[in-house]
Amino acid sequence: MDILFFVISMVLFASIFIFLGYLGYKKTKTVEDYFVAGRKMGALLIAFSYGATFISAVALIGFSGIASVYGHSILWLAFLNVFVGIFIAFVVYGLRTRKMGLSLNAMTLPELLGNRFNSVKLQQASGLIIGIFMVAYTSAVFLAIASLFQVTFGIPYWLCVVVFTLVVGIYLIVGGLYAVMWTHAVQAIVMLVGMIILMVGIYTMLGGIGPAHEAAAGLTPEMLKSIGSPAATQAPNGLTSMPPVLSQPFMMVLTLIFGVGIGVLAQPQLITRYLTAKNEKALRLAVPYGGIFILLMTFTAFSIGPLCNVLMYQNNIMYPTKEVAGVMVANPDAVIPTIINELFPSWFILIFLFAILAAAMSTAAALFHTAGASIGRDVYEKSLKRKISPEKSIFITRIATFAIVIATLIISLNPLDVVAYMTAFFFGLMACTFLAPYTLMLYWKKTNRTGVWVGFLFTIAWYILIYFKTAPKIIGTPLVGNYMINMLDPIFIGLPLSFLLTILFSIIIRQDKDEETIMKTSFENI
C-alpha cells in the first residue's frame, strides 16, 4: 500500500479527533462537564464509549493471537465479555453506581469510595493505584499498535508511539470527557466496519461457519507443527475443542478468561461511563447497543484467531515469529496482521489499520482521562487543604493528564512484552483491589471504612508481591512458562480474600455516626 496515501488518511483521521477535541473544549464549562461529560450522555454514546474503552487493540490483536494458540476454548471469554461485561455490568452495577454517584456528587471511582466511606485518604490511595498501574496497561496498548505498524509498513516503533500519543493527548487534555466520548463514537464505527469485513472475509475464504470450524478441527498437531504454530502443543484436543481439564493450556485459558472476564466489573475507566448517563433509561438502553458491539468485537476476534491456522496451512504461510534473547519464538501478536497482509486486498489493510488504531486510541484516551483524573482530582486536589475553583480543578487535572501522557510515552518507548498478559494482569489487579469494596458499597449497607481499608491494603500487597514474582518471567520470555501458575493466585485467591476481609472487618468494627449518616444519603435514591 502506498505509504503517502496512508499518511494523508492518517492526517484526516487525526484532524477529525482534534476538531472534536476543540468542540469538547467549547462545551466544557463546569467540573462535571470535564469529568463526566455533564452527565448528559444518551444510550448510544454511552454504549459506544464503554465498548470502545473496553475493547482495545490488545483485545483485537493480542487475544486473536492467543486464540490462535489455544483454540476456540477462549470463546468463553467472549461469553463473559457480553454477559458479565455488558449485562451484569450495566444492570447490576451501572444503575446503582449512577444513583449513588449523584447522591454523593462523585465523578470518579476513588471519589465514590472516598465520599461513601468518608475517607479522603481512601480516595487518594485508590487514585494513586489507578494512576500508576494504568500507565502499564496503556503501554500494552501501544505495543499492540506498534506490532501492527511494524508488520504492515515497517514504520519505526518510536515514531508511531510519539504521533499516536500527541494526537490522543491533545484532544483529550483540551476537550475533556465530551471529546473522549464523541471521538469514541467515531472510533467505534470504524472498529465495527473493520471487524465485520474481517469476519466475513475469513469465513467466506473458508466456506462458511461449519466448514471453517471443521477445517480447524481437522488440523492435526503434525499439520500445525509444519507451519510452526504453537497450537500443535497448546491445543492438545484440537483447535475447536476444550483442552484437557487442569492441563497447562486449560489453566492458562482459565486465567485469561477470569482475569479479563470478571475484572471488567471493577475497571475505573468503565465505571466512569455509568456516571455520564443523563438518566436511568439511557443506561438501560445502552445494554443492547453494548451487547451487539462487544459481540462483533470479541466474538469475531476470538472466532477468527484459531481459523488463521487453517489459512496459514492452506496458503503455505509460516506462523509469525520474533527473536527473544537470540532465540526465535512464536509471535501470536503478529498473526492477524500477517493474515491481513498476505490474504486481504490493500484497501482492507487500510480499513483494518484504522480500526485497530481507533481501538487503541479510544482505550488510551479513556485510560489517560481516568488516570489524569485520579492523580489530579483524587490525589493532588484532595491533598490541598482548601477549596479551589472549578477552573483550577480542571487545570490541575489537565496538568496531571499531561504528566501521565508523558510518563506513558517514556515507558512505551521501552516497551514491555506480551500484550494480552499485561491486559489480563491489569484487569486482575483492578478486580482484586476494587471489586469487593465497590460491590459491597453498592449492595451492603453495613460495609464500613475499616473493612474496606483492610481488604484494600491486603489485596494490593498481595497482588504487587505476586507481580514482582511474576514480572521477570513474563517480560521477554516465550508465551508459555510458569506465568499461569503465578497468575492464578491473584484472581482466584486475592479476590475472594478481599471480599472476606472487607465483610469480616465490617462486621467486627461497626460504622461510626458520620459513616452511618453518609450511608443513609448514599442509599436515598436506591
Partner 1 sequence: MNLILGMDIGVFIAWIGTLLATVLCILYGLYYQFIKKSDEKQRPTSPKEQDKTQEEDL
| Residues contributing to the site for partner 1 (CB under 8 A) | 39, 71-73, 75-76, 78-79, 81-83, 86-87, 91, 98-99, 102-103, 105, 209-217, 237-238, 240-242, 279-281, 284-285, 287-292, 295, 299, 303, 525
Of 103 and 433, the one with the shorter C-beta distance to partner 1 is 103
Query: CB-based burial of residue 346 (10 Å sphere; 0-12 exposed, 13-18 middle, 19+ buried)?
Result: exposed
Please tell me the distance from the alpha carbon of residue 211 to that of residue 218, in angstroms, as a whole number: 10
Q: Rounded to the nearest whole angstrom, what is the least distance from the CB of residue 424 to partner 1 in the complex?
A: 18
Nearest CA among 351, 341, 311 for reference residue 203: 311
Find cell 504521533 and name the residue.
Answer: 163
Of 242 and 399, the one with the shorter C-beta distance to partner 1 is 242
Of 301 and 432, the one with the shorter C-beta distance to partner 1 is 301
Q: Which is it for strands 327-330 and 321-324: parallel, antiparallel or unpaired?
A: antiparallel
**Residues 68, 332: contact at Cβ < 8 Å?**
yes
Of 39 and 273, the one with the shorter C-beta distance to partner 1 is 39
Find cell 476470538 and name the residue.
Answer: 302
Q: Rounded to the nearest whole angstrom, what is the least distance from the CB of residue 203 to partner 1 in the complex?
A: 12
Q: Rounded to the nearest whole angstrom, what is the least distance from the CB of residue 80 to partner 1 in the complex?
A: 9
Q: Spell out the residues 6+ positions from residue 232 whose beta carbon is closer than 8 angstroms to its own.
A: 221, 222, 224, 225
**Residues 497, 459: contact at Cβ < 8 Å?**
yes
Of 188 and 216, the one with the shorter C-beta distance to partner 1 is 216
Q: Rounded to the nearest whole angstrom, what is the least distance from the CB of residue 445 to partner 1 in the complex?
A: 18
Q: Rounded to the nearest whole angstrom, what is the least distance from the CB of residue 53 to partner 1 in the complex?
A: 17
Backbone torsions φ then ψ of 323, nearest 5 degrees: -95, 125
Q: Rounded to the nearest whole angstrom, what is the least distance from the CB of residue 236 to partner 1 in the complex?
A: 12
Q: Rounded to the nearest whole angstrom, what is the least distance from the CB of residue 339 to partner 1 in the complex?
A: 19
Find cell 489517560 and name the residue.
Answer: 368
Of 115 and 374, the one with the shorter C-beta distance to partner 1 is 115
Q: Rounded to the nearest whole angstrom, what is the least distance from the CB of residue 250 to partner 1 in the complex?
A: 10
Of 99 and 377, the one with the shorter C-beta distance to partner 1 is 99
Of 207 and 345, the one with the shorter C-beta distance to partner 1 is 207
Q: How far is CA 116 from CA 273, 432, 453, 471, in A?
A: 19, 19, 13, 34
Q: Rounded to the nearest whole angstrom, what is the least distance from the CB of residue 218 to partner 1 in the complex?
A: 9
Of 347 and 443, the one with the shorter C-beta distance to partner 1 is 443
Nearest CA among 63, 87, 84 for reference residue 75: 63
Q: Rounded to the nearest whole angstrom, what is the least distance from the CB of residue 291 to partner 1 in the complex?
A: 3
Find cell 499516536 and name the residue.
Answer: 164
Of 169 and 238, the one with the shorter C-beta distance to partner 1 is 238
Q: Rounded to the nearest whole angstrom, what is the least distance from the CB of residue 83 to partner 1 in the complex?
A: 4
Find cell 485497530 and name the residue.
Answer: 356
Cell of 67: 486464540
Of 100 and 136, the one with the shorter C-beta distance to partner 1 is 100
Q: Spell out the residues 6+ positions from residue 69 whose beta carbon is closer than 8 angstroms to its own.
A: 229, 230, 231, 234, 235, 330, 332, 479
Q: How far is CA 31 from CA 21, 109, 121, 219, 393, in A?
A: 16, 16, 21, 57, 7
DSSP codes joined into one string, 331-357: -GGGHHHHHHHHHS-HHHHHHHHHHHH
Backbone torsions φ then ψ of 276, nearest 5 degrees: -90, -5
**Residues 330, 319: contact at Cβ < 8 Å?**
yes
Of 203 and 458, the one with the shorter C-beta distance to partner 1 is 203
The helix, strand and coil proportions of the chain, stated in percent and rounded to the nearest 5, come to 80, 0, 20
**Residues 220, 362: contact at Cβ < 8 Å?**
no
Of 292 and 413, the one with the shorter C-beta distance to partner 1 is 292
**Within 13 Å, how many C-alpha atoms sit on residue 216's CB side?**
32
